[in-house]
Structure 1
Amino acid sequence: MNTYPVRVGSCLFTMVDPERGHEVAYNRWYERDHFYAGCLIGPWLFAGRRWVATRDLKDLRFPKDSPLAVPVDAGSYLAIYWVHEGRHREHFAWAIDQVVDLYKDGRGFDNRIHAHTVLMHKPWSHYRDDDPVPIELALDHPYQGLAVVALDPAGGTDLDGLNAHLRDEALPALMDGSAIASMVSWRYIDPVGGETERAPMDLGTPAGPAERQVQMFFLDGDPARSWDRFRAYAASLADAGTGNVVFAAPFLPTIVGTDTYTDQLW
């Protein structure tokens, strides 16, 4: 756990597809320009990382119909960014103008389709190990895989009841003795804040209900090898009557500076 004063308080989650035939151009534009100019050079955003879902990983996604990705295999690339606790407004006040200005200057990329681009906050974490890599370092640590799981409280279960079940039972059963090192759970930020209203592109499916959690699991190995665990995790939540998984998707880290995986998306 993190005992130091650098703390993540909110995040940007942006899941996008290049249009077919533009895979390499999109990858290079995002990696070499937008990743920095649109995000990392801004105030109080202190970490970012890109992930990719190849065709074989997309085929592992469940359930078949999801409110996050329509269709469920939408979103080949995922970029995640951490914003310092208490500084969300300051960063996105900069980011709103910055992205608009980049597009005015011809530094956008039209041949892409957003699947799900949202802002989230209220993080809490769970770790496999007693002395873990803190979530604040997760985007810089050389993890070999990521799993994104979105879930809603079931029926008569409130958010507190779901979280208690997750901490006490479901997450230890999923993570103990596995390649799944850490988890951070997020909830959507009310879009009334206006941070996304001026975006110069359609951002895909909207943010979900306030009680939905979007969990990010960081893995020491290929997420495909742990996918049976995630299926069992979803089944256990349903069987316990505490939660319903509405999206589960594995990703690999991109290999920075290369076009690796651009020919494996479809």
Structure 2
Amino acid sequence: MSDDDTRTELYAELAAVGPYGTRPGHALITLVEPHPGHEYAYNRWYEDDHYYAGAMAMPWMYAGRRWVATRDLQLLRYPEKSAVAQPVTTGCYLSTYWITAGRYDDHMRWTVAINKRLNRDGRVYHDRTHVLTAFQDHEATVYRDGAAGPRDVHALDHPYAGLVLQVVEAGTPEQRPQLLEWLRSRHLPKRLAGSPAAMVTVFRPTPLPGDRMTYVKQVEGVDTRLTLLWFLQADARACWETFFTGLDTAVGESGLGRVELVAPFVPTVPGTDRYVDRLR
């Protein structure tokens, strides 16, 4: 079969069956470190090609947003000894994508195949390290203002001023449901009240397929971790001390787990190299 054969006749069949709601049932969350000296080239490759050909053009991936951590934002991260990033400042760029609920398997079949094709065609930038790359299942969304304001389906399109990535690890796999319930019903509502964070989405990681690209390592903590995305209406630097320090203490005192990463970001400006000169 040639590259020109798009098998158009199959599209009507595929569109007529299966889930097609708007809920973000799954996510791709990927934290990447471009190698020193490759920051500009990596940013242009990702924005001009990979964000589209390697993500948004795929079936069932319907929203995306890139975020960046300048050096001053990197220095706010904790804990110093992180199981996610070594050193904890590693990972300048974060990309987040929503995938339609119930379409994870369909999307994975496409993404594995297209990334193999992109790699074969010389359209993968290899001078980078995947710090944390995982497809994740949605577990909960907690809102600061109840029914008012944007929903999680809008989160990657709404012009939020910043994002905080938090990774928590349950003490045991059996404790993760308890940790999730504590976060959802007690900890997050209390932390969100009066804060600049409009919502927090909570995900749990899933294993990557065995035929994944070899430069992406297998996901750790699939039985114990939870990934939280805090969507901010203010720059994290302006509210960090008041609202985002001590998250590790709170989780530790619950007796249900520990924090492995708390990391702030600002949104990139598509089509520009803004912030690239402030990564080191």
Q: TM-score, normalised by structure 1?
A: 0.91
Distance 1:95 1:209 in 2: 20
Distance 2:27 2:92 in 1: 19
Distance 1:117 1:161 in 2: 25
Change (3 A) 1:198 1:239: closer
CA displacement at 1:155 relative to structure 2: 7.2
Distance 2:190 2:66 in 1: 28
Aligned runs of 1:22-41 on 2, under 5 Å?
Answer: 22-41=38-57
| Other structure's SS at 1:94 match | helix
What does the per-residue CA deviation read over 1:97-144, in whole Å, with 9 as the maximum and x for residues that have no partner? 111111111111122222111111133110101213111110000001
Asked whether 1:175 is paired with 2:196, we answer: no
What does the per-residue CA deviation read over 1:57-94, in whole Å, with 9 as the maximum and x for residues that have no partner? 11111111112112211110011111100001111111
Asked whether 1:110 is paired with 2:126, we answer: yes
Q: Corresponding residue for 2:256?
A: 242
Paired AA for residue 264 in structure 1:
R
- Does the 8 Å contact 2:144/2:193 carry over to 1? yes
Q: Corresponding residue for 1:257?
A: 271
Q: Corresponding residue for 2:164?
A: 147
Distance 2:47 2:150 in 1: 25
| Other structure's SS at 1:158 match | helix
| Other structure's SS at 1:60 match | coil
Distance 2:254 2:122 in 1: 52
Aligned runs of 1:1-266 on 2, under 5 Å?
Answer: 5-130=21-146, 131-154=148-171, 158-191=175-208, 193-194=209-210, 197-199=211-213, 201-204=214-217, 206-228=219-241, 229-266=243-280
Paired AA for residue 73 in structure 1:
T
Distance 1:180 1:10 in 2: 21
Greater gyration radius: 2
Question: Unaligned stretches of 5+ in structure 2?
Answer: 1-19
**RMSD value over aligned CA atoms?**
1.9
* Identity across the alignment (%): 39
Change (3 A) 1:155 1:20: closer
Distance 1:155 1:203 in 2: 25
Paired AA for residue 80 in structure 1:
T
CA displacement at 1:158 relative to structure 2: 2.1
Distance 1:17 1:230 in 2: 23
Deviates more, 1:64-73 or 1:159-168: 159-168
Q: TM-score, normalised by structure 2?
A: 0.87
**Structure 1 ranges of 4+ moved more than 3 A:** 154-157
- Does the 8 Å contact 2:21/2:101 carry over to 1? no
CA displacement at 1:157 relative to structure 2: 7.8
Paired AA for residue 152 in structure 1:
E
- Does the 8 Å contact 1:57/1:251 carry over to 2? yes
CA displacement at 1:203 relative to structure 2: 2.1
Paired AA for residue 169 in structure 1:
R
Paired AA for residue 37 in structure 2:
G
| Other structure's SS at 1:92 match | helix
